[in-house]
Chain A
Amino acid sequence: MNTTFLHLEDTIRKKIVLKKKGVYIIFFHNLSGNLVCEIKASRVDLTVVGLYTGNKMQEFTLTTTQHHFSPFSRSRLLIKGIFDGMSKFKYSGRIRIEKKAKGTHASQKNQNLVISENTLVDTEPCLEIMSDDVFCTHSATTIQPERDSLFYFASKGIKEKKAQKLILRGFIEELFEFFPPLLHNKQIIKLKNSVLTRYD
């Protein structure tokens, strides 16, 4: 199958219509905007991955739509965010399955880690499902680094600051594991390293 990798670099004010079967991967980092993916073919495997590392006064607003028109396709979306300083994040994600889109598997996941007192996180996911033969999930979590994990590190003699860094690294690395395995190429590894250097 064809694999298409799309790294959105400046804006995501975009509508993407997928009319051919194949594997599609979309990645973006710290971008605000509105991303609409319309799936109008069968056997489309779409993965959308978004990463946010907000600090200071940064503000992000993101809207995503996974709109399924055709049967037997799959779409997965993962948005991860780490928010520090006075950063703000507003996310609203939507999955819509039209009547014809039987056998769809669609998922949406948003995980946020909050590491400062003054951040603001709003998530507004929604599912609109008109077909019965589908499986759809969404989940959202917003937490701070777990005390248990910090304690675990402390008991191994690792200082809190270092422990926090390790937790954040792990949190981000998870995101790169979400890509389909065939895509673990140089491009992704480069991307991963460039993001992770911030947390060294």
Chain B
Amino acid sequence: MLNKPPNTFRYRYGFSMPEKNVYSTGVGLSDKVIRDISRLKNEPSWMLDYRLQAYAFFCSKKIPDWGVNLKNLDLDRITYFIRATQNQTSSWEDLPKEIKQTYDRIGVPEAERKFLAGVSAQYESEVVYESMQKELKKKGVVFCDMDSGLRQYPEIVKAYFATLVPFSDNKFAALNSSVWSGGSFVYIPKGVHVNMPLQAYFRMNAPAFGQFERTLIIADEGSFVHYIEGCTAPVYTKDSLHSAVVEIFVQKNARVRYTTVQNWSKNVFNLVTKRAQVQEKGIMEWIDCNLGSKATMKYPAIYLKGKSAHGEVLSIAYSGKNQHQDAGAKIFHIAPHTSSRIVSKSISKSGGRCTYRGSVSIARGAEGSSAFVTCDALLLDGKSRSDTYPRMRIREKQARIHHEATTSKIKDQELLYLQQRGIKKIDAEGLYINGFIEPIVKEIPLEYSIELNRLLQVEMSHHGG
């Protein structure tokens, strides 16, 4: 029944490959770096203007003093752009040996064969591999990297780009807007259901590197798509930075599910801005698993703009030694009869710190709206810390808002109950944790949930031993 956890824990994705690149802007950020990136990509002039405007805004803003500790983040020592290969390919065999080996070890080609409708793999700053099932292409589904998206569909990109997350949103959104590269562009035509997930893999290989992907997803009326992103990086002593911007447009009756399995190595600062806008009767679901990174600040947001729209944020955060996960959710109920649900589970261990920071707003006129928030935190030892900062703003009488939160340790009675049945303490703890996160894990594709359970069990064995 129970898998025996191995005795030692090792971050499986911490390996690195020799660094080879065809172009790098070098360390540091300046006007010139931004012009270089734009020139290399042959971008239209409006995009360069936008980048430069964003850069000016970025320089004028201070590093936020709330949330995670960003004092050790040295923005001058980071390389902002690295091109790893000359051309993008749709065959794993054509990739340079080191890159192919990397993805083999992460298990991407295998996953693609088994259960994915399309894969995009980003290595350093750009997408190196991309492929999608032929049937989907015929139906008009677009799944490509953002750079190609801008080249091939300039009108669509210009109409939607940065309308949900303008560069003036926050300092790191401005940074992303000025040096963005890679990410995914997804368009699902009216009424098309993509039954198998589309997946993007993000990999950083170089040390002290910054990855700034930009993702835009548009789900047209009545369509459905499940997009998954996975992130890993090698373990280095120097800190890296990952700062993405994701914008999602869910049109009438459409549904988008966005799953993140964030498993960066523990030297990565992960500062991400994610936002979705939902029209009438649309559904947006963020499923957010934060396991890795040194420090994460991520608050996926949903604007419920159309009548009867629905939004969900389900998240798991795990913080081990020297980690701080500052994650949460923001939901804005703007239209009548909208509903939302936030379920957040966090586990802190060995001095790690998990923070839930959320906000639910009900605007005047959003009558008959309902919001439900629940945050549960588990503290596994006396060194760890857990915080909960939910916020609710209600401007409408006909609305129902519920919030609840609990923080506790694993209950002795429950461990005793399992131990009485001959289950070792360490396994019992593992079972307890699996049960604790089960409501969210069951929403993730099977392949990932096995991986997640295994990962947590291994971490737990470390704890017990």
Contact = CB atoms under 8 A, between A and B. Distances in A.
A133 B407 CA distance: 10
Given A115-B397, A122-B394, A134 B403 contact: no
B401 A142 contact: yes
B397 A138 contact: no
A117 B397 contact: yes
B397 A126 contact: no
B399 interface: yes
A143 B401 contact: yes
Interface stretch (B98-106, B152-160, B374-382): B374-382
Contacts of A127: 377, 386-388, 405, 407
A61 interface: no
A102 B382 CA distance: 9
A110 B286 CA distance: 28
A128 B382 CA distance: 13
B101 to A, nearest CB: 42
Interface in B263-288: none
B360 to A, nearest CB: 10
Nearest to A83: B397
B384 to A, nearest CB: 7
Nearest to B356: A127
A128 B387 contact: yes
B408 A135 contact: yes
A129 B387 contact: yes
Given A124-B392, A125-B388, A129-B387, A136 B397 contact: no
Given A120-B395, A121-B394, A144-B397, A134 B407 contact: yes
B60 to A, nearest CB: 29
Nearest to A146: B400
Contacts of A102: 382
Size band of the interface chain A makes with B: 20 to 34
Contacts, number: 102
Size band of the interface chain B makes with A: 20 to 34
A46 B394 CA distance: 30
Contact of A134 (B389, B392, B394, B408): B408
A13 interface: no
B406 A136 contact: yes
Contacts of A131: 379, 382
Contact of B403 (A120, A125, A128, A135): A125
Nearest to A140: B403
Contacts of A173: none
Contacts of A136: 405-408
Contacts of A135: 406-408
Contacts of B409: 132-134
A138 B406 CA distance: 7
B385 A129 contact: yes
Nearest to A116: B397
B394 A114 contact: yes
Interface string B197-219: 00000000000000000000000
SS of A interface (majority): strand
SS of B interface (majority): strand
A8 interface: no
B19 interface: no
A194 interface: no
A192 to B, nearest CB: 27
A18 B38 CA distance: 63
B235 to A, nearest CB: 28
B393 interface: yes
Given A132-B380, A141-B402, A124 B389 contact: yes
A132 B381 contact: yes
A143 B407 contact: no
A109 to B, nearest CB: 9
B400 A143 contact: yes
A102 B394 CA distance: 36
Given A114-B397, A116-B397, A132-B384, A142 B392 contact: yes
A116 to B, nearest CB: 6
Nearest to B393: A122
Nearest to A99: B382
Interface in A121-178: 121-144
B403 A141 contact: yes
Q: Tell which of B377, B394, B402 has the most Cβ of chain A within 10 Å.
A: B394
B424 interface: no
Given A139-B403, A141-B403, A143-B401, A122 B392 contact: yes
A119 B407 contact: no
Interface string B448-462: 000000000000000
Contacts of A126: 387-390
Which 5 pairs show the lowest CB-CB distances between chains A and B?
Answer: A139-B404, A132-B379, A127-B388, A140-B403, A126-B389
Interface of A: 99, 102, 114-117, 119-144
Interface of B: 377, 379-382, 384-395, 397-409
29 contacts: A117-B397, A120-B394, A120-B395, A121-B392, A121-B393, A122-B391, A122-B392, A122-B393, A125-B388, A125-B403, A125-B405, A127-B377, A127-B387, A127-B407, A128-B385, A128-B387, A129-B385, A131-B379, A132-B379, A138-B388, A139-B402, A139-B403, A139-B404, A139-B405, A141-B400, A141-B401, A142-B400, A143-B399, A144-B397
Given A123-B391, A126-B388, A134-B409, 11 more contacts: A116-B397, A127-B405, A128-B385, A129-B386, A129-B407, A132-B381, A134-B408, A136-B406, A139-B405, A140-B402, A140-B404
